[in-house]
A and B are shown apart, each in its own frame.
Chain A
Amino acid sequence: MNPVVLPRSLFIALGLLLALALLLSLALGPVSLPLLDTCKAALRLLGLPVAGDGLEQAELIIGQIRMPRTLLGLAVGAVLALSGVAMQGLFRNPLADPGLVGVSSGAALGAAIAIVGGASLGGLPDAIAPYLLSASAFAGGLVVTALVYRLGSRNGQTSVSTMLLAGIALTALAGAVIGLFTYLADDATLRTLTFWNLGSLNGASYTRLWPLLVVTIGVGLWLPKRAKALNALLLGESEARHLGFDVERVKRELVFCTALGVGAAVAAAGMIGFIGLVVPHLVRLLVGPDHRVLLPASALAGAALLLFADVVARLVLAPAELPIGIVTALIGAPFFLYLLLRGRA
Chain B
Amino acid sequence: MRVTARIASLCCAVLLSQAVVAADALPQRWVSAGGSITEWVVALGGQNKLVGVDTTSLNPIELKKLPSIGYQRQLAAEGILSLKPDLLLGTEEMGPPPVIAQVKGAGVTVESLATKADIATLEHNLTRIGALLGDEAGAAKAVADYKQRLEQQAQWVKTAQAGKTAPTVLLLLSHAGSSPMAAGQDTIGAWLIEQAGGRSIATHNSYKALSTEALLALDPEVIIFADRSIAGPEAKAALLKQNPALAATHAAKADRLLALDPTVLVGGLGPRIPDTLAVLGAAFYPAAQPLTANAKP
Contact = CB atoms under 8 A, between A and B. Distances in A.
Is there a contact between chains A and B in the complex with CB atoms less than 8 Å apart?
yes
A61 B99 contact: no
Given A130-B97, A186-B208, A319 B102 contact: no
Contacts of A321: 70, 74, 76, 79
Contacts, number: 98
A317 interface: yes
A203 B106 contact: no
A1 interface: no
A208 interface: yes
Contact of A319 (B73, B76, B95): B76
B224 to A, nearest CB: 16
A129 B100 CA distance: 14
Contacts of B96: 130, 202-203
Given A183-B209, A202-B96, A203-B99, A192 B70 contact: no
B273 interface: no
Contacts of A186: 184, 205-208
Given A60-B106, A130-B97, A187-B173, A30 B76 contact: yes
Interface string A28-40: 0111100000000
Interface residues of A, number: 33
Nearest to B184: A186
Nearest to A207: B98
Contacts of B67: 319
B106 A319 contact: no
B261 interface: no
A188 B96 CA distance: 13
Interface stretch (B80-88, B123-131, B287-295): B80-88
A65 B207 contact: no
B78 interface: yes
Interface in B80-128: 80-83, 93, 95-99, 101-102, 105-106
A84 B12 CA distance: 73
B97 A129 contact: yes
Contacts of A183: 209
Contacts of B52: 319
Interface of B: 52, 55, 67-71, 73-74, 76-83, 93, 95-99, 101-102, 105-106, 173, 181, 184, 205-209
Closest 9 pairs between A and B when the two form their complex, measured CB to CB: A320-B70, A319-B79, A203-B98, A186-B206, A30-B82, A321-B76, A31-B82, A203-B99, A187-B207
Interface of A: 29-32, 60-61, 64-66, 126, 129-130, 183-184, 186-188, 191-192, 195, 200, 202-205, 208, 314, 317-321, 323
21 contacts: A29-B78, A31-B78, A32-B82, A64-B102, A64-B106, A129-B97, A186-B184, A186-B207, A187-B173, A188-B93, A192-B73, A203-B97, A203-B99, A205-B101, A208-B98, A317-B68, A318-B79, A318-B82, A319-B69, A320-B68, A320-B70
